[in-house]
Amino acid sequence: MSIKNHPNAGKLLSSLRNTGYDSNYTAIEDIIDNSIDAGARNVNVAINTVDKDVCIIIADNGSGMSEDVLDQALKLGSATQKDEMSDLGKYGMGLCTASISMAKSLKVITKQANDDYLYSSQDLDEVVEIDEFIKELRKANEEEIALFKDHIKDDHGTIVVLSKTDRLTNTNPTIFANNLAKDMGRIYRKFIEAGIVISVNI
């Protein structure tokens, strides 16, 4: 007889936090890959300190996500369909593994054109506390919509907010931003030459 064999959520997350990325910059660029796949022409990374916590926001004016896609985006081993020939992020674990590699809190606010603002979040402390993979998924509230509009002027797009960043190699936001900008300039040179604007703290 076969039975369900759910993983120990807390221990699995602790293990995953130690695998997959050789630097914080690579993890952020994995999230930017998703933005480019979504057709974004503008991607901005904002790095600042809030109450001694370095907060990282990746904002793009891509197509945004439907509720079903957002549900999958905050799930390890996402079932979201990818084009293996053209999409940059192919493995269905980019957003979750990128975020947990450097932060305990992940929040996503997204909107498709002429549709509702949607919100989803995951907090590793909560996952560990109850030892279950849990997240929040709902329509965005007024405060979350205002945050979206602060970073995206279009009627569509996505912002990813990483906080409780306990695994940054450099906690000086200015130095971190400068190093990230240099690395992005190298990684995304061809996209930038094609007219996609990818910036840090602008």
Q: Can you spell out the DSSP letters for 39-76?
A: T-SEEEEEEEEETTEEEEEEEE-S----HHHHHHHTST
Distances (CA, A) of 159 to 82, 88, 95, 172: 20, 18, 12, 22
pLDDT recorded at residue 19: 73
Task: Read off the pLDDT of residues 15-28 as tens digits, 9 standing for 90 and up.
Answer: 888 877 889 999 99
pLDDT, tens digit, 9 for 90 and up, residues 34-78: 999 999 999 999 999 999 999 999 999 999 999 999 999 998 755
**Is the separation of the CB atoms in 76 and 93 below 8 Å?**
yes
Q: Across residues 94-117, what is the average pLDDT?
A: 95
Comparing C-alpha atoms, which of 179, 197, 201, 184 is closest to residue 49? 201
pTM: 0.91
**Vertex 200: Cα angle to 60 and 64 (nearest 5):** 5
Rg (CA), the chain: 16
